[in-house]
Every structure is written in C-alpha cells, then in structure tokens.
Structure 1
Amino acid sequence: MLSASAKLERDVMTYPIQWIPREWNWVDNFQKVWMENVPFSLFYWNSFKLAVVSTIATLLFSSMAAFAFSKLRAPGKGVMFGLMMSFMIIPEQATLVPRFIMIKWLGLYNSHEGLMLMLAFSMYFTFLMRQFMMGVHNDFIEVAKIDGAGYLRVYAQIMLPLCKPILATAGIIKFIWTWNDYQNPLIFLFTKELFPLPLGIQFFRQEYSNNVSLMMMAAVSAIIPLLIVFVVLQKQVINGITVGGVKG
C-alpha cells in the first residue's frame, strides 16, 4: 500500500513488483486525493469529529457506570449488571431497525449528533472497566471518605487516575472502532457532506476506480490517525498495567 501510493499509475502493476519506486509520484498523488474533486479533507474531519467525541463520551459514561457497579452499594445492583451484560449477546445488526426508528423519532436522522448519541455508551467497555476497578483496593475509597470526599470526588480524583491503563486501552479500541465504522454511517447518513472516511473512500472509489495509486494514497491517509493514537497512548497501557497496592 505504501509503495503503490508513491508510484506512477503505470508502475503499480509491474511484475516483478518494485518495492521502491523508480519514479516517485507521492506529492502529485497526495494533491489529487486532498485537493481535487472528492472532498477528502471533509471526510477526514467528519471521521475525526465522530471518533473523538464518541471516544470521550464512552470513556466518561462507561467509567461512571463501571464505578457504580464496582464500588457503590445499591439494592439490585447485581441483577442490573447481569441484565446489562445479557444485552451483549444481541447482535448489533438486530437493533438497526429499532435504532433507526428511535433516531428518526428524535429528529436526529442524517446527523452526526444521532451517531454520537448511539456511540456514547458501550456495555463492552463498561464490563472491562468494572472488572479493572474491582481490582482497585477499597482502602483508597475509605481513606478518601474519611477525608470528606464525596462519590464524585472519589471517582474523579481517586478512581480515574488509578484506571489509566484500562482507560487508555478502551480509548484506543473505541477510537479505532469508530474511525473504521462503516455500517452505522451507511444506515444513518445519506448526505455526502456528512460522510466519514469509510463512506468517503467508497465514494472516492467510484470517482477513481481505475487509479490504484490514488486509492492507495487515500488508504494510507486514512490509517495515519490510528497509528498516531496507538503510539501516543501505548505508553499508558504498558507503563500503567499494574496498580499500586496498599501496605498492611
């Protein structure tokens, strides 16, 4: 993909393959992808907006739910958690019709707000964070309560700093899932100006179906943010993989 994105179109299909192009055409391919007929930069911005907002919302809401399920006492908490987990066996495709009806009823069809609303919470990440928080010693919370901290302060100043590894891991996965999501935008968006990259590349393919080098340049451009997110957050995952304990 990297090699083909930097080649002239006539050199893409040469055999044997030339891993290093004899004639570099990277700049010209880049300009055609980003600055000509297809609004690639708009697709890029749409994907970035959806991925960032959905990731932040998921980390916030799922971590709050995980904190409640793992550390707070409430009647019926176990039943509620089991019920929520049972919903994970339902395929996402089975909920497309009711979600479509609901989003249409709310007046959010063909809008980024509708997609963000559906992607703002995740049972899967709530489960992962809850399991991680179960391993955090309760003495941290008890000491904070003795100092007069309420539940919100315990969550924000005690639990979240201790949960950086799972937050970073969930953030990476959620960002990648949202960035690569094709199904939801396909169903809930129909205006070209609102398309994220997966739909944008499909639209790009219709315009340049015979130009492999441009298709490869578009694909390279699409994966760059995923690499950046992983490189930036992997340190948190590796260095914070263990949580400090309390000495008896």
Structure 2
Amino acid sequence: MNPRLAKAIINGLLIGLAALSLAPLLWMLAVSFMQPGEASHFPPPLWPDAPTLHNYRELFAKAGMGRYLLNSALIAGLTTLIALLLNTMAGYAFAKLRFAGRERVFRLLLAALVIPAQVTMMPLFLMLKQMGLINTYGGAIVPGMAGVFGIFLVRQYARSIPDELLEAARIDGAGEGHIFFQIVLPLLKPILVTLAIFVFLASWNDFMWPLIVLSDNSMYTLPVALASLSREHVQDIEMMMAGSVVTVLPVLLLFLVLQRYYLQGLLVGSVKG
C-alpha cells in the first residue's frame, strides 16, 4: 500500500475516533445553552436555536451550585495538598532511606492494590464514625490523603536520584528534613505535578464516598449535588447539562493547562523508574 495512502487512512481513523469521543461533550455543551424544553424535541436538536444563559442562572441562583462548587474545590484542593506531602515523604523513604522491613512493608502495600476500594468503605466509615468525622469535610478528605499508587509512583521516580548527591549533603551536615525539602522536592517536581493531577481528578470526580460520608445538603460536592438535582428536576435536561458542564469544565481546563508537565512526569518516570 502507498505510504501516503496508509498515513491518510490512519489519520482519518484517528480523527473519526476523536470526533466520536468529543461528540457527547460538545452536545452536552450545546444543550446547556438551549431554552427550557428544547432538548426534549424529537429528533433532538444539535445546536440551540436561541442560545441563552438561563440554565446557568437558574443553576447558581436557585439550585445553589456555587456552594457545591466551593465544596468540591475545598475538598479536592486540601486532599491534593495533603496527599502530595504524605505520598512524597513515604515514596522517598521507601526509595532512599534504609530501615528494617522496608521491602517487606512495600510489598505488603503493593498487595493492597488488588483490594477494591468498595471493600474498605464500611470499615473506614465505622472508624471515622468513632472519630466523629462523619458529615464533615475532614471525613471526605481522609480516604484520599495517601494512596498506594501515589507512594509507588513517587518511589519509582525517586530511585533515579543519585545516592551520591544525598550522601554529599549529609557529609556537609544537612539534616534529613533539609535534604528532603531543599534537594529532593525540586528534583521530584515533574512527578509531583503528575501525582497532583491524579489526586485532584480522583477527588473532584468522586461520587460514592462523599455520598456515604456527607449527609448535610450544604456540604455536598458537585457530583453528589448533580445527582440529587437530577431527581428533583428530572425533566430539566438543559439545566442538568449546565450542571454537567460546571462539573467537567474546571478539571478539563486544569488538565489542559498542566498536560505538558503531566506527560513529562509520566515519560521521565517510565524511563528512569
């Protein structure tokens, strides 16, 4: 086959797959600007006849979406900051610090990856209940504070840091805290951005745990609030699509802004790990 023809076919297939992937998101965006009831017509329109911001105004003025947006931002932001600190410290310790049982403990942590998160929800809920963290932001943050995958990710990347660099700092009299914050953290920047994106997306999009641990409507995150609104406004397709846009848009923009660092962290980590 002609190489140019083969290239054109492959590019055409890739463009077609991209269009299929983007079509639901584009239609969701279009419906969010439609007049109330317009999306219920048959066949469904692909573009609003008279674009309007009515659905977004209703969403924030009457449905309280602004509060839910702040809740999601608070929980996802704090979860990401805490997870970065704990996962980075643990990953560095497993990579560069020598202590008894290091490899055994790490293998035990890796074995925990095969346990579904749903299995641990009930014991975790009971533990948080004893601690008085049910229906609190702290209770929603706890499960994402540290994760085996994050520790593994940081460990694999931290192993590429030369031991000679750390030993030289110790000989010069630097303490472990100084070495970690002044030397190690700057070297881990690519993988930290990658980990931050992973944690933030997981926390922002999480539906099941906030639904379980938060009972006060004013503390709902966006996914939980959107599900609750869909039961109350089952016929308001346009408003629900506006809510979906508000839920998806922040994380989509975050990923687009940081994708260069995200890919860099993955690629460099795969080469050095």
Fold conserved (TM > 0.5)?
yes
Q: Which runs of 5+ in 1 are unaligned?
A: 244-248
Q: Please list every run of 5 or more consecutive structure 2 residues that lacks an aligned counterpart in the other structure.
A: 1-27
The correspondence of residues 191-210 of structure 1 with structure 2, limited to 5 A, is 191-210=216-235
1:98: how far off?
1.1
* TM-score, scaled to structure 2: 0.83
Q: Which stretches of structure 1, 4 residues or more, deviate above 3 A after TM superposition?
A: 13-20, 238-243
Please give the secondary structure, in 1, of the residue aligned with 2:46. coil
Residue deviations 1:99-151, cap 9 Å, x none?
Answer: 11111100111111112123211111001110111122222212322332211
Letter in 2 for 1:34: F
Distance 2:156 2:118 in 1: 27
Q: Match for residue 233 of structure 1?
A: 258
Counterpart check, 1:154 vs 2:187: no
The match for 2:34 is: 7
Structure 1 counterpart of 2:56, which letter?
Answer: F
2:41 paired with 1:40? no
Give the letter for the 2:59 counterpart. V
Deviation of residue 231 (structure 1)?
2.6
Residue pairs, 1:1-248, within 5 angstroms: 1-14=28-41, 18-25=45-52, 27-36=53-62, 38-238=63-263, 242=268
Matched pairs, number? 241
CA positional deviation for 1:71: 0.4
Measured against aligned partners, the alpha-carbon deviations of 1:158-210 in whole angstroms (never above 9, x if no partner) come to 11111111111111111111011111111111111111111100111122110
> What is the SS of the residue equivalent to 2:206?
coil
Q: 1:234 to 1:162 in 2, by over 3 A?
A: same
Letter aligned with residue 219 of structure 1: S
- The CA RMSD over aligned residues, in Å, is 1.7
Change (3 A) 1:116 1:10: closer
In structure 2, C-alpha distance between the alignment counterparts of 1:10 and 1:115, rounded to whole Å:
36
Partner secondary structure for residue 235 of structure 2: coil
Q: Which amino acid is 2:31 matched to? A: A
C-alpha separation in 1, matches of 2:209 and 2:172: 46
Equivalent residues of 2:68, 2:218 under 8 A apart? yes
Q: From the two aligned structures, give the one with the greater helix fraction.
A: 2
Q: Is the 8 A contact 1:65 1:126 kept in 2?
A: yes
| CA distance in 2 between partners of 1:183 and 1:16 (Å) | 34
Shift in CA distance, 177/150, structure 1 to aligned 2, threshold 3 Å: same
1:210–1:16: structure 2 CA closer, same or farther, 3 Å change rule? closer
Distance 1:234 1:140, change over 3 A: farther
Per-residue CA distance 1:6-25 (angstroms, 9 max, x = gap): 11134324455543322111
Relative to the length of structure 1, the TM-score reads 0.91
- Residue in 2 aligned with 1:246? none
Kept in 1, the 8 Å contact 2:35–2:51? The answer is yes
Moved more, 72-81 or 227-236: 227-236
Comparing 54-63 with 4-13, greater Cα deviation is found at 4-13
- Does the 8 Å contact 1:168/1:234 carry over to 2? no
**Deviation, structure 1 residue 214:** 0.7
Tell which deviates more after alignment, 225-234 or 210-219.
Answer: 225-234
